[in-house]
Structure formats: C-alpha cells, structure tokens
Structure 1
Amino acid sequence: MTSAPDGRATGPAAPTPPTTLLLLRHGETALTPHRRFSGSGGTDPELSGTGLAQAARAAASALLAEAPVHAVISSPLRRCRQTAQAAAERLGLDVEIEDNLREADFGHWEGLTLDEIRTRHPADLRAWQSSATAAPTGATESLAEVAARTATARDALLARHPGRRLLLVSHVTPIKTLIAGALTAPAEATHAMHLSPASLSVLVHTGPRAAMHLYNDTSHLR
C-alpha cells in the first residue's frame, strides 16, 4: 500500500515494469569458424567479412525493431564494439562500454582449439570443466569470477535503467553466465550451453526474478 501526504492509504503501489536484456553475441572473427578460444587476453580480433554481415543482420532483426531499445551496451573488445555499432547506428543510439561484459581471459589457451588444449593442458582443462573456481592455464580469472563481474554489470544496468529495454553485446562466457544466473543454475552449467555467433537471447527481469524468453536465436541470419 502507498499513502497520501495526509497519511491516508491510497492503494497498492504500482508494480515496477520489467527490464528486458537483449543479449547479442558478437559476429564471427577469423578464429570463430575454427572454434579457437578467443578471450580478453588474446589478439582482440576484428569481425571478419562474415561477422560484419552477421552484425548488420542482427541490427536489422525483428526482435530489435518490435519495441524501442533504450541503450546499447558493449564489451570493450573490438568484435563486440563493431557488432554494437551496427545496431546503435540503426537505432540512433550511442554505444556505451561496460568493461565487466568483456570475455574471460583464457591465458595459455588463447588461440587454441579444445582438442589442442586437451593435448597440451589436460589436467587444467578437466579442472576448469568440472569446477567454476578453476582458471584456464596461465589465467587469473575463474568462471565463478567471470559470473560475479557480469552479475555486477547486470545489477548496475538494472538499477540505472528500470523498466527499459537494453541491448547488451558481449561474448560466449559472459552471456552464458547471465543466463545461468537468471535460471539459478550453477556457473558450471554454462559448459552445457551452445551460443552461436550473432545470436540473440532475451532475459526479462521483474524485481528480483528473471525469466528467459529466448535463447540462441539466429533466425535473423537466415
């Protein structure tokens, strides 16, 4: 219940409208088709020609056009900034940079395929796949720590943009951890998720609750 200045009850408070997070993974780089690990500690590759085309298609998707998007927030890495810029230009918005949306640092695994990591660093890979507190070889950030910083970014954005529709352009690991958090799943659950380049996923936050409305949608690329 709310009350008037004279203390009279005026009825229940109006519910806070939901805040919608549109989660867009960046388009392809030269490393993506070969499934090579590409984190925040690597070469910071740009989008390939295919990736630029994917970014343009994502920017023109029906999902972004069906209702106003109030802000475009991107990881600082180049592949995300390029993907975000395509959407921002179409929406008439600027790109805001959020460092906590950057990809994990994969240490000595940067640029390697999973098979190469399995050959060179088998024990570290097994630990990383089984425990959210283990870090890749030569890296200082575990999956749990990535999840914590992406949650920090999410909470700040929800507080700053209540009831708004936000486009977040990020990477595989941060997006998966945001989804796992919304589903109250452990961070290790991200290893069972697949996320395609330039795919869109949607989380709708109402108060402390979140619901996943869409996952890994690539219909705009077809």
Structure 2
Amino acid sequence: MSRAAKAVAAPDLGAPAAFVLLRHGETALTPEKRFSGSGGSDPELSETGRRQAERTAAALAERGTVEAIVSSPLKRCRQTADTVAARLGLDVTIDDGLRETDFGAWEGLTFKDVRERFPDDMDAWLASPEAAPTGGGESFAAVAERVAVTRDRLTAAYRGRTVLLVSHVTPVKTLVRLALGAPAEALFRMELAAASLTEIAYYADGNASVRFLNETAHLR
C-alpha cells in the first residue's frame, strides 16, 4: 500500500451496534390517531396488531440477524416483543428508557380534540421542543434526553451485536433524528407506521448511520 493510501485509510472501528427499531403493532387507538403515551390506559394490541406482530416475527426470523430483544415496559410493546421472542427463541429485556412520551391531559384525545380544548398549549408544543403537553406531560426535549441516555447505555452493552428495540413513535423518531443530527421539528416530518422497522448502526467513534426507515413490506 502506498504512503498516500495509508494516510487516507479509515481506522478499524469494529462491528457497530445495530439497532433494529420496531414500533409496536396497532392498538384500538392507533387507527383513530389518538395520543397514546405512557400516562394513559396502556392499551393492548388489537387483533390487527397481533397479526402485525406475527408477520414481523416471521420476517425477522427469516433475516436471522437479531441477537437480543429489548422492549418498552408498556403492554403493546411487550406483547409485540414477546411474539417476536417466541419465534426467535430469545428472551426480552425491559428498559423503561424506551417508553413513549407522557402526553398528560392529551392521552386518549385526537389532534383535533386537543386543538379545540387546549389551543394555546398545542401551539406552544408545536413551536418548541421544550413545551410539554397540558397537565404535566413530557416535552420532546425531555424525551430526547431520556432516549439519548438509553441509546448510549444500550450501544455500550451491545457493541458489535444486532438488537431489536421494541418501542413507540416518539422514541424511534428521536433516535433517527439524533442519528441524522436533524432539528427537533424533524419529528413532525417522518412517517412511522405501526409494526414498521427502522435500523440504525452505531459505531465506536460515535458516528451513526440510518440504514432504513419505516419499512413495512413484511406487513403486506
């Protein structure tokens, strides 16, 4: 190898920690687009959601790359994770850092409901990641801080391995946003379907690469 080639050769960072991010399957609230966070009724998967979990499990089994499973503690994620775990023969680790945003008084309401009942709070929430939902909810800034801490802990624990993280819309979008170095408003510009798959690779030098986003082919 020439001296010039040696100068530009990239360091060997080893295999990254690869996070396959799975949004839980549908609940009864999902098709109605109601706020469903960590401060609400903790709904179960619907019949559609259970079918989605089964199809996702089959697709992940076919890929054969997942080595561990970590899930949000909320019921819809645990049910989704358990379905995949049964198919892959793996255990599920619960991590509270993967839980959904607490939407406070907005839990169970539609966007229209919130706009009508709490217009000023809604405007503030849409304008700033520091603003929290009415009634002691969790701001996007608070979620980002929690998710970043969780990311760092899990990447250290699973360096060089492929891990399935079963979580929710906001944590998954936040991980993507942080990986891309995108602003907070990027959360409103991503589509993330129920039971969709997203993957991010995290390297030892701190860099991250989004491999794919909102993959749903396995559900068709």
Which category describes the TM-score, using the shorter chain as reference length? over 0.9
The residue number in structure 2 matching 1:119 is 116
Task: Compare 107-116 and 64-73 and name the one that shifted more.
Answer: 64-73
CA contact (8 A) 1:147 1:187 kept: no
1:16-95 equivalent positions in 2, closer than 5 A: 16-61=14-59, 63=60, 65-95=62-92
1:114-157: CA deviation from partner (whole Å, max 9, x where unpaired)? 01111111111111111010000112421011011111111111
Q: Which runs of 5+ in 2 are unaligned?
A: 1-9
The residue number in structure 2 matching 1:105 is 102
**Pairing partner for 1:213 from 167, 191, 211:** 211
Write the letter of the residue equivalent to 2:112: D
Distance 2:61 2:201 in 1: 14
The residue number in structure 1 matching 2:3 is none
CA contact (8 A) 2:22 2:196 kept: yes
Q: Which runs of 5+ in 1 are unaligned?
A: 1-11
TM-score, length basis structure 1:
0.91
The residue number in structure 2 matching 1:3 is none
**Pairing partner for 1:169 from 166, 170, 178:** 166
CA contact (8 A) 1:71 1:166 kept: yes
Query: Stretches of 4+ moved more than 3 A in 1?
Result: none
- How many residues get paired? 210
Write the letter of the residue equivalent to 2:49: G
Shift of 1:13: 7.5
3-state DSSP of counterpart to 1:16: coil
Shift of 1:29: 0.4
CA contact (8 A) 2:69 2:92 kept: yes
1:165-204 equivalent positions in 2, closer than 5 A: 165-204=162-201
1:163-209: CA deviation from partner (whole Å, max 9, x where unpaired)? 00000000000101000000011222101112100000010111211
**Pairing partner for 2:138 from 136, 141, 145:** 141
3-state DSSP of counterpart to 2:31: helix
* CA RMSD in angstroms, aligned pairs only: 1.4
CA contact (8 A) 2:102 2:137 kept: yes
Shift of 1:31: 0.5
CA contact (8 A) 2:24 2:194 kept: yes
1:8-47: CA deviation from partner (whole Å, max 9, x where unpaired)? xxxx985321111000000000111110100000000000
Distance 1:117 1:15 in 2: 47
The residue number in structure 2 matching 1:7 is none
Distance 1:24 1:32 in 2: 15
Distance 2:61 2:185 in 1: 30
Distance 2:154 2:164 in 1: 11
1:91-114: CA deviation from partner (whole Å, max 9, x where unpaired)? 111110000100000011000000
Distance 1:89 1:157 in 2: 22
